[in-house]
Amino acid sequence: MRVRWQDIPGDTVHHDDIAQAARQLAEQLIQQSIMVVTAESCTGGGIAQTLTAIAGSSRWFERGFVTYSNEAKQDMLGVQAATLERTGAVSEDTALEMALGALRHSRGQVSMAVTGIAGPDGGTPDKPVGTVWIGWGQPNGHADAQCFHFPGDRNAVRQQTILEAIRGLNARLKSPQSFSSTGH
């Protein structure tokens, strides 16, 4: 798995940027004849809403899971209780298990999973507000995750998460070798 901590500049995410990234993703999914599934915590379904706002999305959007609580992550995606106890909900391991669990519990071929602290509360010194893990899964059992630290208020963190999750999947679909070759 490939992990990178990335600080994102405080530039405001524009709705047009998200819409453009979503349209590019739709084109990639149609070209490759594959379906995407989402597993969302801190975005509360925002990625699924963004993708399904595109007419014809039923051709490439399979389903979305909103797993805000730890119990939902376990029940709906199969995230292990031991993982949540050991590393917490906002962690690489949880993002990877969410990404792969979304695939196991759907008919999608690729997934996006997000778990983070949108704020304004909930941050800790180790995981401050704005900390988000995004995971991307593929059906061969491989997944990778990346940690981001997004600035701004709750809405800004959520919008940046949506954009980076979609951009990340776009990049992986354009260059399939960028998916982890070691898996999780």
SS3 136: strand
Percent of the chain with pLDDT over 70: 89
Backbone angles phi, psi at 137, to 5 degrees: -120, 155
119-152 pLDDT, tens digit each:
999 999 999 999 999 999 997 889 999 999 999 9
Tokens 């051709």 belong to: 59
Q: For the segment 59-73, what is each residue's pLDDT rounded down to a tens digit?
A: 999 999 999 999 999
- Fold of the CATH domain 5-175: Maf protein (3.90.950)
Q: In degrees, to the nearest 5, what angle opens at C-alpha 184 toward C-alphas 99 and 52?
A: 15
Taking residues 164-169, report their average pLDDT. Answer: 98
Q: What pLDDT digit, counting tens, does each position of 143-154 carry?
A: 999 999 999 999
In this prediction, residue 141 carries a pLDDT of 84
**Is this model's pTM higher than 0.95 or not?**
no
Q: Which residues contact 88 (CB under 8 A, 6 or more apart)?
A: 94, 127
Pairing of strands 110-116, 131-137: antiparallel
Quickly state the pLDDT bin for 15 (edges 50, 70, 90).
confident
In whole angstroms, give the CA distance from residue 99 to residue 83.
14
Query: In the structure, how many helices (H) and strands (E) does the chain have?
Result: 6, 6
Spell out the domain ranges in the chain.
5-175
- Report the amino acid identity of residue 172: R
